[in-house]
Chain A
Amino acid sequence: MNKGDKLQHKIIYSVAVSVFFCICLPFLLPSLSLAGKPIRIGVYLPMTGPVAAFGQMEWAGIQAAHQMRPTVLGRQVELVLVDEKSDRIEAANAVSRLLKKEKIQAIIGSATSSNTMAGSALSEKAKIPMVSPTATLPLVTQNKKYVFRVCFIDSFQGEAAAMFAYRNLKARRVAVIVDRAQDYCVGLASYFKKAFTHLGGKIVSMAYCQTGDQDFSAQLTSIPASQSDLLYLPNYYAEDALIARQACELGLNIPILSADGAQAPELIKIGGKAVEGLYLLAHFAPEGAATPLAKEFMEFFKKTRHEETSGFHALGADAYFVLLDAIKRAGRTDGDAIRTALASTRGFGGVSGIIKIGPDGNAVKSAVILQVRGGQFKYLTIVKPW
């Protein structure tokens, strides 16, 4: 046998051994863990595409929460992530894959309202409970028995924003640019409009754009003529950052008020000086965190991820913690048992505050108002639900 043959044998042998181990591994692992089959929780989030920042932050929060509490009912919890690519059709595909192929017991997702609705149509039919971290459009849970969320809803957010604009910022004439391609943006804009006109203010300019638009000069140019004293942007961070920049370039120097969809580091990175002073409503501020779980999570998150906890981390984690709590109280993992337990969540001390699931599957929670100062989101005040 010559040298080359020897080498070949060695390679074949080592490949065979490693293949053998790879095949055996799945059989060995469960026998090492103490009890039963793992509980599988499906997660579908936008990991890529226009709102990838939400998905990636929520996933980081969910993963950290999972590391903190990896077991329930004495069984391991397994997370299965599918990317919904910030796309409605992909969101439906993701949920259908979770339901049919991954055999999950419950679902966490998604980050945006439109895509959560695209996915929940399927999970509702399969009677699998779903908890969305941040889908805020009221419609998301209406007439849905198995869909829940851990965030506030836009009817509350729009009203809170209108009150803040009218009372604190003393705005009377507001210009709005709204992303027409997102149910969230359209819904929020109309709640704001209703509440603001009810307070006695006026919407003097209503302009539209579309997710992924880069040029807003045409919409912004017509705003000065309307003599507005506030620009309201109920959109996602990528559009809001570019709108703010172009408003600066066109010399539009009125304050900007934005919404929870703008709370991503990208808003500040892309917006730069133009977003300095921008106000926004948000779900969570570390300064406002009070529950023991929040303290524990923020410490854990800082230690493992070397990052401060932001709103989307917190809500991702809360979706996981609330679901875990429901599974624990249900004592079983069938869809209906988890659903009943979720619906009866009361006074759960989550990361983003005390969570109570209302009759329609919505969390009743307070909002915080932040302002961008010195390139950071700074806590201004808290708005309690009324």
Chain B
Amino acid sequence: MDLSLFLQQLLNGISLGSLYALIAIGYTMVYGIIRLINFAHGDILMVSTYFAYFGISVYALPWWLSVVMAILLTALLGILIDLGAYRPVRHAPRISALITAIGVSFLLENLGLVVFGGRPKAFYRPDFLDKTYELGGVRVFSLSIWVPLVTALLLALVFLLLYRTRVGAAMRAVAKDMEMVQLMGIDVNRVISLTFAVGSALAAAGGIMWAMKYPQINPLMGIIPGLKAFVAAVIGGIGNIHGAVLGGLLLGITEILLVAFLPSLAGYRDAFAFILLILILLFRPTGLAGKDTIG
């Protein structure tokens, strides 16, 4: 394999990995603050792409307006899910919340099948994202530049929110000790609602970027990105936000290089991601970036 081919594959990997990273940020943030593995994250992502799809293709709104509305609506959906599903089991053992999350995931998937139908829909891609540049024998697709940029921007915003705002301070406090925070007169439920709103908005941003890159949406599309983001979050150390980005990039690049160098194993790339998950859990359960969690 010559150099330009290798660079091309590396770029493919970064492009895919930054998408995983983008989705993993929201995943790991919610975990970091309320210690809940939100298995519905991938399905919230799916719903957000349908919100954007309806805005663009059905109501013929400008794409950027649809995207903003989809993100806001998804944030609202996150609050509602917390209100309806997670708040009632807030003080139950953690396993109940986990099972509830799986339930929410199935609910969203099947609701999606009933409401949106099982056949895939084509997702709109704005023209400026549909360009390709040639750089010294390597073809750079414009989305491959935009996705890492958006990931970096959102990562910065999440850090700003957590470490430079009062709400962020409350979120970190909740992460440290929920009971104590309650005694200090902070409305824990409000803080958690907000956490879900931000987490879901991040899922929406990730989902919409995903749908623009792979312009096909269906009610079960969130499962694999959700699982991959979970793997990425665990690789980076779940609860650790920059670890999630690291994990996402690492997962994307290794996946692409696996397919590139061992083409006959291409059918097993998902299996490979899960083997990686098992290995990490066996040998470094706190993840690569360690236990630098929120708080």
A: residues with CB less than 8 A from B are 46-50, 52-53, 56, 180-181, 206-210, 212-215, 217-219, 221-222, 225, 238, 241-242, 245, 249-251, 266, 269-270, 272
Contact = CB atoms under 8 A, between A and B. Distances in A.
B214 A242 contact: yes
A233 B48 CA distance: 31
A311 to B, nearest CB: 16
A218 B256 contact: yes
Given A53-B119, A208-B264, A269-B122, A214 B256 contact: no
Interface stretch (B9-17, B29-37, B185-193): B9-17
Contacts of A241: 216
17 contacts: A50-B220, A52-B117, A52-B119, A52-B218, A207-B266, A210-B266, A215-B12, A217-B12, A218-B13, A218-B266, A219-B263, A221-B260, A222-B263, A266-B122, A270-B122, A270-B215, A272-B122
A383 B270 CA distance: 39
B113 A212 contact: no
Contacts of B264: 208
Interface in B102-150: 113, 117-122, 132, 134, 139, 141
A26 to B, nearest CB: 26
B5 interface: yes
A270 B267 contact: no
Interface string B223-257: 01000000000000000000000000000000111
Contacts of B224: 212, 214
A208 B213 CA distance: 20
Contacts of A213: 269
Given A215-B256, A217-B256, A221-B260, 10 more contacts: A180-B267, A208-B264, A218-B9, A218-B12, A218-B256, A218-B266, A238-B120, A242-B214, A266-B216, A270-B122
In the A-B complex, list the 10 residue pairs whose CB atoms are closest, starting with the nearest.
Answer: A48-B118, A52-B118, A180-B267, A218-B259, A217-B12, A214-B214, A269-B122, A208-B266, A270-B122, A218-B256
Which of B120, B122, B215, B220 is packed against the most chain A CB atoms within 10 Å? B120
Nearest to A180: B267
A214 B209 CA distance: 13
Nearest to A266: B120
A52 B216 CA distance: 14
B255 to A, nearest CB: 8
A212 B259 CA distance: 16
Nearest to A269: B122
Contacts of A219: 259, 263, 266
A46 B216 CA distance: 18
Interface in B248-295: 255-257, 259-260, 263-264, 266-267, 269-270
B5 A222 contact: yes
B12 A210 contact: no
Contacts of B270: 210
Contacts of A249: 132, 139, 141
A210 to B, nearest CB: 5
B8 interface: yes
Nearest to B214: A214
Interface in B160-199: none
B221 to A, nearest CB: 8
Which of B9, B266, B270 is packed against the most chain A CB atoms within 10 Å? B266
